[in-house]
Amino acid sequence: MGSIDEALKANELYAQNFPFADSPKVPARKLAVLGCMDARMNIERILGLEPGDAHVLRNAGAIATEDVVRSLLVSNYLLGTNEVMIIGHTDCGALGLNDGELRERIERERGATAASPAQFLGFSNLEANLGRQLRTLRAHPWIPESISIRGFIYDVATGRLAEVKTNRPAITTE
Amino acid sequence: MGSIDEALKANELYAQNFPFADSPKVPARKLAVLGCMDARMNIERILGLEPGDAHVLRNAGAIATEDVVRSLLVSNYLLGTNEVMIIGHTDCGALGLNDGELRERIERERGATAASPAQFLGFSNLEANLGRQLRTLRAHPWIPESISIRGFIYDVATGRLAEVKTNRPAITTE
């Protein structure tokens, strides 16, 4: 049996005793979380979140892409969230990902096209990358300054979050 | 106490008895899931997934954006996933979202800028939107035909998934 069919069987069990019919559409904790897609990170479990508590956004590397900004604006303006966590993690697949090498491999296997994506957004330093994502969101003209945005590194070996502090100013001159 | 600090307290408990130190980086089920950011959808719980099982990608509306394609290519090529589920859901915030109205509101409150995102990607029909996302991924020249891509609607009132079948050809002439 394939993994999708296996997941569908698990869903049948889940739906048989479903206690979340009244979970709110508007996140009860007014929280939005951006995390990596990594298989080891169950965001809700890591943070003790129940259905109805928080929006969860995830992509490769927990990068503040245009798609993430789009989703956060919907979350902030239409559904009232006012705190944002960005969660990177140790041993991330995007850490050391070489954009050029991956592009060359795909073009070799599939042909060179003008296909998106333009970049794969690999990075070489976990904390520095997280700092960039924090600054991207804090500097965005459409994300209100009243939204609290904080960044963390999740340790996949211990399950523990550690905060990464950055200068509050949106753009530093370092 | 704010929601982030509350989540950090929950994380301390989570890390005190952490049984997932040996979860694999390469998803054990070779599965990637694209779901909506909606607070009511705990993707792992809905599908019976444990840490280490599957990549989880989430954004507003479960839309196959450039960022999602980027993440899926990393997932497929570098981490070996070969099945993809897209999961939309009933009562989605993007259902009926009027792009122009949201943009006008944000510009009124924050000022008109050339800021991204270009679009908010609201839609008017759940199944038709899901069909579009399936076709986008199936037609992408860099996603191998060997990857199984299937689409589902999650019912937030029952916890149940229902498959949305579409024509297999990537681009229909309907």
Q: At what angle do helices B66-73 and A66-73 cross, to 10 degrees?
A: 130
Mean per-residue pLDDT of chain A: 94
Interface touch A59/B68, C-beta < 8 Å: yes
pLDDT less than 50: residues of chain B: 169-174
pLDDT at A170: 45
pLDDT of residue B170: 45
Could you say which of A2, A7, A48 has the minimum Cβ distance to residue B48?
A: A7
Q: Judging by DSSP bridges, how do beta strands A161-164 and A148-154 pair with one another?
A: antiparallel
Query: For residue B55, which phi and psi values (nearest 5 degrees)?
Result: -75, 140
Strand partners, B34: B57, B86
**Per-residue pLDDT at B171:** 45
Chain-centre distance of CA A117, in angstroms?
18
Residue A154: which H helix or E strand, with range? strand A148-154
Please say whether the beta carbons of A60 and B27 come within 8 A: no
Residue A1: per-residue pLDDT: 87
List A110's β-bridge partners, or say none: none
* pTM (two decimals): 0.95
Question: Which residues of chain A lie closer than 8 angstroms to B77, CB-CB?
Answer: 102, 105-106
| Best mutation target, A12, A71, A161, to test chain B (most B CBs within 10 A) | A71
Q: State whether residue B100 sits within 8 Å of chain A by CB.
A: no
A77-88 pLDDT, tens digit per residue, is 999 999 999 999
Which of A40, A78, A109 lies nearest to residue B93, judging by beta carbons? A78
Q: What is the pLDDT of residue B168?
A: 54
CATH 3.30.70.920 fits A31-95+126-164, yes or no: no
**Could you report the predicted ipTM of this complex, rounded to two decimals?**
0.94
Q: B27 to chain A: nearest residue by CA?
A: A39
Nearest CA in chain A to B55: A39
Q: Which chain B positions have a beta carbon within 8 Å of A116's beta carbon?
A: 66, 69-70
Contacts of B136 (CB under 8 A, 6+ apart): B64, B69
Domain boundaries, chain A: 31-95+126-164
- Which residue carries 């290519």 as its tokens? B73
**Residue A151 to residue B86: CA distance in whole angstroms:** 28
Q: Which two tokens stand for residue B2?
A: 């704010």
pLDDT of residue A118: 84
pLDDT band, residue A166 (cuts 50/70/90): confident
